[in-house]
Structures are given as C-alpha cells and as structure tokens.
Chain A
Amino acid sequence: MAKKYAMIHDSNLCIGCQACNVACRSENQLPESVYRLQVWIKPEEYPNGTLGYEYHRQSCVHCENTPCVNVCPTHASFKNEDGIVLVDVDLCVGCLYCVAACPYQARYVDPVTKAPNKCTFCYESRLSRGEEPACVTVCPTEALVFGDLNDPQSKINTVLSERVTYQQKERLGTNPKMFIVPNHKGGIKS
C-alpha cells in the first residue's frame, strides 16, 4: 500500500535551536545561500500582557492539493505515490511558476541547477534507507514527529489523536501534510 507521509511540528516542544536547519543542510548538501528548512522565532505579546516566542517551521508542507504541481507546465514538479512533492530537475524549464504559486514560500531556486527545489522529507536520501528525515532525527526536544498516515499504528497517528493540531492556511484547501501543534500560550494562527 502506498504511504502517506506527514509531519507534526509541535511548537510547544520546539525551542528554535535550528538543529533541523543545519542537519538538513548537512544531509542534503545544500548550496550555502539557500535553505530547505528554517525555524523562525517570532516575538509575541499575548493578550494577557505576557511575552513569549512563537516558533514557525518554514519549509514545504507537502500539500495534498498541490498548487505547485498544478501550475507546473512540464510535470517537473510532481507528487509521488507516497504523497511527497518532488522536483524532477531534468524536466524543469525554470519558469518559476511553482515558486510563485506556492502559498507557503517553500521553494527556492537552486543556485547550481537553477531549478526550484525544496524539502523532500529527505525522500531520496534517508527515507529510502528506512531512516526518518534528518530534521526529525536530530531534533533535540522531539518537536518533530514523522510517519505514515496510512499506517494506523504509526506514531504520527497516535500523536495526531492526542494533540490539537492545525494546518497552515487551511482556507486555501491545500490540505498540507504538515500539522502544527499550536503554542499553548497564544491563539491559533493559520
């Protein structure tokens, strides 16, 4: 049976340490100037007057309904059988339609190939070896949970049933497979 890979970013557990950011760079040998993944730390003043930080994982959210794949004229951007959105650099003409169409700003243009690229959940490297994505492997506080939604026994399904989550920009109908556990301190922002 095909997999349906998904990830949870629990912003209560996240400390914004960028371990994921650097592990991704190390595993995927990213060119210096670009990032597949960053965690943005945003200062927040809560309604009760207290201060805090919100942690936003900036990366591809692996939509079910993929604006990037829809607009790509050559199928260079595609969703594979396991639900992961990938780029076939060979087919890419570099129109950047996908980069523009992504509501999550998840795509960057690789300075070497000049083709857009993005987080792949480490599909080519680690998943094929039966390993979790690099970011999940290193996350010091286990703020990231990765797994197969089609497997009822998977940890991600357990966690999804236990913690309240939301998806970013749900109203767009993209149905991302990146679930966010909101910071208990603040309101849910989508």
Chain B
Amino acid sequence: MNHIAGSLEQYSTLIWHWPIAVYLFLAGLSAGAAMTSLMVKWIEGNNKAPWDGLIKAGALLAPLTICLGLFLLIFDLTRPLHFWKLLIHYNFSSVMTLGVLGLFIYTPLSFIYAAIKFKPWLFETGPFAGLLKPFKGIIDSIGDNPAWLERTLFLFAVIIGIYTGFLLSAMYSYPLFNTPLLPILFLASGLSSGVAASILFGLLFFKSEVNQKNAKYLLELDLRVVPMELLLLFALFVGMYFQGGDKTLVAIQALTTGVWAYVFWVGVIGIGIATPLLIAVTALKHHAYRVGYILLNSVVVLVGVVFLRLYILYAGQTFIG
C-alpha cells in the first residue's frame, strides 16, 4: 500500500543536534575543570598565591566554558528570545529546571572562585582593573581559602557533571539515553575532559607557573578516570544487552550500524580511550615528564570526550529500537 498519510518529516527522532552535544561537552568540561582546580589546590602547600598554573587554568576554564555552553544552548532554542522564561518558571520534575537552578549557583561561584585566583590581574594589572575596582572589597573579604565556597563549588561541579547525563537519561523515549549509568559516565568523562583541558591550558598559557608534581598528579588522575570510562561504557552496553527488547536491539545497533558505530570505535574508543592509555604505557611510562606527549595526551582525551558526547547524542536519537 502506498503511503497516503502525507509527509513523515516531522517524525524524525533526531531532535537535538550538535550544539547540544557541544553544550554537554562544555558543561562537563567546566565541571571537570572546577574539580581539577580544586583538587590541585587542596594538595598540601598549594593553598596560597601565587597559584599553581593548573589551579589557575581550571579556575579560568570553568566559568568560560559554562558560559560558552549556555550561549550555544540559548541560541539553539527554537524561541531564543523567550529563554528568560526558563529563569522564572520552574518545573521541579524537569531535569532542565533542576539544571537551571544548579547553574544559578554553580556559575556565579565559578566566577568568584576564578576572581580569587586572578585577583592581581583583575584589580591591578589587567585592562579592566579600573572598572572592577568596586568589587575588590568583596573578593578580598572572601579570602584566599574560603572552605564553604570551595566545597559548595565542588559539590555543584559534581551536580552539573551529573545533570548533563540525567538530562538525557530522563527520557525513556530513547533506550540509549535511558540508562542509569549515563550520568556517571558523563561525570567521569567530564572530569577527564576537565583534567585534560586544565593540563593543556595550564601548559600552554601558564607553563612557568605549573608545578611538575601537580601535573603528574593530574596525569595519574586521568589515567584512572579513562579506564573507568571504558568500564562504564562496557557496563552500559552489556547492561542494555541483557535488558532485552528494544534495549538489546539498540545496544547491538548502536555498536554495529552505520557512521555512529565508526564514531564510537574510532572516535570514542580509539582516540579517546585507547590512545591515552597507549601514551601512558609508552611515551609517559614511569611518569616520564615529556611535555609534548602530555599535550598530545590531553588533546586526544578532549577529542575523545567530544566524540563521546556526539556519539551518545546522535546514536541515542538514531537507534530507538
């Protein structure tokens, strides 16, 4: 029988496109960078200015990337001029509302935290010193080591990292999204991207201020998180496979069908996971400090996480059983 019901275009299940994947990546990276910065700062001896380059890199990345992400998010709305309605209407059963509330707290905190780390530049040497002077008193009054602020920031960084996963996993219309492991996977990969970006950023822009010991600490951290991601991905797909029905079908399709299967095996696994592990057991064996390889390692981790977000978003919306 011919199809006589009219165009099927509106039934495409591909609703969210690359800006959302990039937002998910940037939000995770922001959260990861904030955590990275705090973890390095919490290492004994790192709690006073001049701040380690890695602390500064993470502190700067966190607010910048979340803002960039939110920009993308707003302009990806079909009614971007109405975005402010998100800020005054809340639905507490919606992960998006919860995310908005989380970002309400997380974003300003990340700015204050960065301001503390860049006090001299902001208020004395930088081009905006004159403009920002009135705020100096506030930042000064917070002090260099505000435990409440740092703990809250860390907590909300974790929340933001996880929320990006829940945003997708709350939808049972898509089997690949609707899995309890997705938020953890996103948190882990967010942390890994935060670490990588901090190293990359620190070594590129604050190289002289980076303590080799701190860099090694982060590399070790990354080396633990990356295999963790592999484990989570493994558990996610195997778990889906054993759930039966649509889930089984989607798990198989997503790993074997079309361009997204290539993205997964080459981009996510090959570039994002295998390459860093390979670098770790070869070039950076026994914690060798080879800046070139460390930078390469960071780049492949970041590229891998971008692929992961793209893969999950697109494969999730493509394979629905």
Q: Chain A: residues with CB nearer than 8 A to chain B?
A: 16, 18, 21, 33-35, 38-41, 43, 53, 58, 67, 70-76, 91-97, 99-103, 105, 108-109, 113-115, 172
A74 to B79, Cβ gap below 8 A?
no
**CB-CB < 8 A to A72: which residues of B?**
91, 94
CA distance A75 to B90 in the complex (A): 7
- Residues 76-125 of B at the A interface (beta carbon under 8 Å): 77-80, 82-83, 85-86, 89-91, 93-97, 100
Question: Is B83's CB under 8 angstroms from A93's CB?
Answer: yes
Which of A21, A43, A99 has the largest number of chain B CB atoms within 10 A? A99
- CB contact between A100 and one of B1, B89, B90, B173 (< 8 Å): that residue: B173
List CB contacts (< 8 Å) of B1-52 with chain A: 1, 3-7, 9-11, 13, 15-16
| Known contacts A41-B1, A100-B171: A93-B82 contact under CB 8 Å | yes
Residues of B near any A CB (own CB < 8 A) = 1, 3-7, 9-11, 13, 15-16, 77-80, 82-83, 85-86, 89-91, 93-97, 100, 170-174, 317
Q: How far is the CB of B279 from chain A (nearest CB, A)?
A: 37
Query: Closest CB of chain B to A165's CB: distance in Å?
Result: 22
The answer to whether B13 touches A105 (Cβ under 8 A) is yes
Residues of A within 8 A of B93 (CB): 70-71
The answer to whether B82 touches A97 (Cβ under 8 A) is no
Main secondary structure of the interface of B (DSSP, over half): loop
Interchain CB contact (< 8 A) of B9 among A33, A100, A172: A33
Partner of A105, one of B11, B83, B90, B95: B11
B169 to chain A, nearest CB (A): 11
- Residues on A with C-beta less than 8 A from B94 are 70-73, 97
Shortest Cβ distance from B17 into A: residue? A96
A74 with B95: CB separation less than 8 A: no
Q: A67-B171, A73-B89, A93-B85 are in contact. Are A53 and B10 (CB under 8 A)?
A: no
Q: List 26 A-B contacts (CB under 8 A).
A: A16-B5, A18-B6, A33-B7, A35-B6, A35-B10, A41-B1, A41-B4, A67-B172, A70-B93, A72-B91, A73-B96, A74-B90, A75-B89, A95-B86, A96-B15, A96-B16, A97-B94, A97-B171, A100-B16, A100-B174, A101-B170, A101-B172, A108-B10, A109-B10, A113-B79, A114-B78
